Chains A and B, each alone.
Chain A
């Protein structure tokens, strides 16, 4: 009976556990579709912006992952009419590792007054950058991501017969494993694309719907200008594309396209205006995209948010770098940071 009592006591002692919090919803998969929340001056040491400079406009960020916690950030610096491309390294989405450095400036005749709106991708031999100039879209290559060599001439210029009624701007690129590349860009309030079999081969324009007589864009303004009394967030124009390819563990490649969106003008108190937002579209083939029904980042906090570029830091958290206001009146424009999930606040960076 002593042995029996000891066994029962051991059983009871082993069962003295406390209630655990309900769980099962930790680290769940996410399509990175937000909604995103802009970090504020309580979370960043430099105020509202991660990158800012007095009397200078910083814009068009493009993230290039360097590791689980570091990303290079390429962006445009505009002082007067002159535009150059700078590079910074951002740690944990919110902190600069070192002051930004200039990596590409107008040096060739076709560059005109400036180069800007960069996007960078890793290639087999190093890195490739696309950028825009007044003359068209350029391509540069680099072995280390810091010293760049520009193409001798624009790689793509606007063709009105192809639907490109305004200069091409804000290019983005994806380099696939077979070295082929996809470039998306903005023209006439829509997003278009072109492909090439390698960095040196000529670009061929893509028609997103070959059943129609005219060339169709990848993404056009929505036809939801007034849907049930609500103005569609992308009903006016779309632009500033940022294209990324992701291989899911389920074995498929998914193309995600973040973009700037503008609504059609609608009545506001004392006049009419449009609203800006950041949208997201997805595709399995980089040609046919489905746009999110709602914006992933609205303009309630900052009415000038634009030019998004997303970076996942290895966790399920995604950082979104955007152009935006660094002060309340919008005189100083810089690079802001948004994050999803946005339900957690961060301590101010040192």
Chain B
């Protein structure tokens, strides 16, 4: 229980600092689950349960810590030219601290993905600019999830958790007198007000053991949107002439700017899975996940600008300039998708140790509709094939009476070639062909204590 308390304290200390969005959806979390194609909703029982299915945390009976590294190398092309989309890479890991509450098995889990080059990235692009919408910026995120699981009966495990996100609202106020003829003499005061608020989303899951060495699983991850808002207000007077000259022409005015941009979005997800342990050495698993992409919003910044000048009567030739109309944002019309996943694991004993071979596959249909209009959100359906190895070492000595597990994985995403054809022959971007591959490799070191 001391370990549990320590882990809880650590989680409470870290969680409000916040995590944002989710590279795990795209590349998986920790080597074993990634090598099995992510088809582990019914089978997960390590630190990666903190992402795939919190109920799986309750499988563990001893403290376990995992640390690993993920590296991806995207080669995403338009018209055969590499667009040099950012690699996603960083540390992955976490811990599981089991215990008992009211004599029932109980576990706390912490799952972390920490990018090693930037913790977060926000880019505001015009909606006409081509961009690989589901890659690049969306995957440059810090992820921290804290989960709890309990096993009320031996055949049932239930879990839930929270992922914490940060949202920003900022304000910028300027007031005073602006000299139109001698700007350096302007007398202005300004204030900045930034507010960091927490956004949380829920995840929950269950695992049920059935006769015949079959386990069923279900997991739910809620939707979240990360909005960034920035307001600017400029209230003052434009002075034509000396700034302190009472005879100078003075034009009172107000300039207001309201910007709002959705910097991250995670769709609601429901996963159903099953695992069949055919023999003690061989298990096969399958998942089907529903992803609610249809609620995806246009990430282009919305901008409202207001200008109000009170021009004194009797000043000829001076008119209030017109304010440009904000560009209309196109509706996204993303589609919900169903993602099938399969995995296979074969374990071979090597003395008191063991070696596991893993294969996985999943197919991600693209949620992005045809881009015949102004927008250029590039994506294509992807086949993902994965392979992995796991070496489990047991009873290494008095200092480490538990287990040490070294997992490694490699997976390849193959994006179908997709033609983007435009309705307007004068489109500023025109037709193009999108295709690509993404190599994903990683390793995880796990230590289990007895």
Contacts and interface: CB of A to CB of B under 8 A. Distances in A.
B386 to A, nearest CB: 20
B420 A30 contact: no
Nearest to A291: B426
Interface stretch (B208-216, B293-301, B392-400): B392-400
Contacts of B129: 25, 28
Interface in A19-34: 19-20, 22-33
Contact of B87 (A8, A20, A248, A254): A20
A7 B117 contact: no
Interface string A11-23: 1001101111011
Contacts of B369: none
B68 A11 contact: yes
A280 interface: yes
Contacts of A282: 424-427
Given A1-B396, A1-B399, A292-B426, A26 B420 contact: no
A22 B443 CA distance: 25
B357 interface: no
Interface string B415-429: 000011100111111
Contacts of B397: 1
Nearest to B117: A19
Contact of B117 (A20, A251, A252, A280): A20
A55 B191 CA distance: 63
B406 interface: yes
Contact of A8 (B67, B80, B420): B67
Interface stretch (B165-173, B280-288, B358-366, B430-438): B430-438
Contacts of A280: 426
B445 interface: yes
Contacts of B342: none
A252 B431 contact: yes
Contacts of B400: 1, 4
Interface residues of B, number: 52
B120 to A, nearest CB: 12
B429 A30 contact: yes
A250 interface: yes
Nearest to B114: A15
B86 A20 contact: yes
B130 A29 contact: yes
B148 interface: no
Contacts of A11: 67-69, 443, 445
A266 interface: no
A27 B86 contact: no
A27 B83 contact: yes
B128 to A, nearest CB: 10
B426 A249 contact: no
Interface in A310-337: 316
A251 B431 CA distance: 9
A156 interface: no
Contacts of A291: 426
A8 B68 CA distance: 9
B425 A290 contact: yes
Contact of A17 (B67, B89, B429): B89
B421 A281 contact: no
B86 A31 contact: no
A7 B445 contact: yes
Contact of A29 (B91, B432, B443): B432
B135 interface: yes
Contact of A27 (B78, B116, B431): B78
Contacts of B131: 24-25
B372 to A, nearest CB: 11
Contact of A28 (B78, B399, B419): B78
Interface string B112-151: 0000111001010100011110011100000000000000
Contact of A15 (B91, B427, B430, B445): B91
Contact of A24 (B85, B91, B421, B429): B85
A98 B426 CA distance: 36
Contacts of B25: none
A281 B426 contact: yes
Nearest to B435: A249
B308 interface: no
A26 B433 contact: no
Contacts of B123: 22
Given A15-B116, A24-B131, A248 B430 contact: yes
Interface string B89-102: 11100000000000
A290 B428 CA distance: 12
B81 A27 contact: yes
B418 to A, nearest CB: 9
Nearest to A285: B425
Contacts of B125: 25
A280 to B, nearest CB: 7
Top 7 A-B pairs, shortest CB-CB distance: A282-B425, A248-B431, A31-B430, A29-B432, A250-B419, A19-B117, A27-B81
Interface of A: 1, 4, 7-8, 11, 14-15, 17-20, 22-33, 248-252, 254-255, 280-284, 289-292, 316
24 contacts: A4-B447, A7-B445, A15-B90, A17-B116, A17-B117, A18-B117, A23-B84, A24-B83, A25-B129, A25-B131, A26-B84, A29-B78, A29-B429, A29-B431, A30-B430, A248-B430, A248-B431, A249-B80, A249-B432, A250-B419, A250-B420, A251-B419, A251-B431, A255-B425
Given A27-B83, A31-B430, A290-B426, 8 more contacts: A4-B404, A22-B137, A23-B85, A24-B136, A28-B78, A33-B428, A249-B80, A282-B424
